[in-house]
Amino acid sequence: MRHALRIVWMAAEVQARELAVSGFMLFAAVFQPFFIGVTAMFMLRHRPDFDPVYVIVGTALTGLWSTLLFSGSGVINHERWMGTLELLAASPTSLFLIFSGKLIGTLVFSLLSLVLSYAIGALLFGYDVTIADPLGFVVSMLFALVSLWALGMLFAPLGILWRTVGRFLTGIEYPVYALAGFLFPILLLPVWSIPISYALSPYWAAEALHGASRGELDLAGLARTWLFLAITGAVAIVAAYRLFGVVLVRARRAGTLALS
């Protein structure tokens, strides 16, 4: 167990260090949420029931999602470009464990967008930012992070097993902003798209965090969102585990790891 945790910790640290000097990922975690947050603050502040916390939480979620999406879908390809994928696949350490750590590093890095979103509301616009249910918010954040991490783990092998799927993944950034209701309620979307929203962990993350931050959900309501975050996360991680197995089969039996 200690051995596994050590590997996860080291992989997370290396990943966080790499992201901290990646201009593109810094843009996704810091600058893009800044522009989206400021734009959304201007666009939503005329609502009679305007609550800056709604924009802050929604903006933070866009940063979390974008960072996870781009990092998750490219994390294996990045190793391939660096020439280290074959070494990782051949090592006795579980590939799944290594990339688990890497995406934990990504999640920690992406929390920058949460800090930045708070700064937009509190410092740039001068709003009094208060979380209605701090404990519920913290628990919701933990559930959200674990569930989003699981989704990132699912994206990682997809990008290498099917190149077109990998490219398509980078195009779902804004659709998920909309389908998950980060900055507007999904009731504005067509009825047929609502079941898709329900199947997405980012939607339940937004429900939980918006609900806790604005005090709109009681404990039962929050528990319901946590349950769905746990279910969507579990489905994603089981699927990811199987796909990582396929990646290893390709590496060891077919010998086409670097050729997909």
Partner 1 sequence: MRLFFVTADYSFRALFHWVQPAQYLIYRALFPLTQLGFFALVGTYGGSQPISFYLVGNVIGTATITVFGVSQAVADERQQGTLSYLLASPAPRVPVFFGRATLHVVDGMLNMAAAVAIAVFVFGLQLPMERLTGLVIAMLVATIAICGVGLLMGAMALIVLDSAILANFAMFVILLLSGANVPLSELPGFAAAAGEAMPLTRSIAAARLYAGGAPLEAGLGLLAGDLLVGALYAVAGYALFTWLESTARRRGRLEGV
Residues in the site for partner 1, rule: CB under 8 A?
Answer: 23-24, 27, 31-32, 35-36, 38-40, 42-47, 164, 167-168, 170-171, 173-175, 177-178, 183-185, 188-189
Give pairs for 128-132: CB < 8 Å, separation 24+: 129/52, 129/53, 129/56, 130/53, 131/53, 131/212, 131/213, 132/53, 132/212, 132/213, 132/214, 132/215, 132/216
Q: Rank residues 38 and 161 by Cβ distance to partner 1 and give the closer one.
A: 38
Tokens for 16?
């966080």
Q: Rank residues 155 and 177 by Cβ distance to partner 1 and give the closer one.
A: 177
Q: Rank residues 12 and 186 by Cβ distance to partner 1 and give the closer one.
A: 186
Tokens 């600058």 map to which residue? 31
Query: If 0-12 CB within 10 Å is exposed, 13-18 middle and 19+ buried, where does residue 231 land?
Result: middle
Q: Output the smallest distance, CB 44 to partner 1, in A.
A: 4
| Cα–Cα distance for residue pair 62/129, rounded to 1 Å | 19
Q: Output the smallest distance, CB 175 to partner 1, in A.
A: 5
Q: Output the smallest distance, CB 217 to partner 1, in A.
A: 19
In 10 A of CB 122, how many CB atoms?
Answer: 14
Q: Output the smallest distance, CB 157 to partner 1, in A.
A: 19
Q: Output the smallest distance, CB 78 to partner 1, in A.
A: 15
Tokens for 86?
């074959």
Residue type, 131: I
Q: Rank residues 1 and 187 by Cβ distance to partner 1 and give the closer one.
A: 187
Q: Rank residues 22 and 241 by Cβ distance to partner 1 and give the closer one.
A: 22
| Cα–Cα distance for residue pair 112/237, rounded to 1 Å | 24
Q: Where are the beta strands (DSSP E) in 17-108?
A: none
Q: Rank residues 3 and 47 by Cβ distance to partner 1 and give the closer one.
A: 47
Q: Output the smallest distance, CB 32 to partner 1, in A.
A: 7
Q: Output the smallest distance, CB 228 to partner 1, in A.
A: 23
Q: Rank residues 87 and 124 by Cβ distance to partner 1 and give the closer one.
A: 124
In 10 A of CB 19, how many CB atoms?
Answer: 22
| Cα–Cα distance for residue pair 101/55, rounded to 1 Å | 30
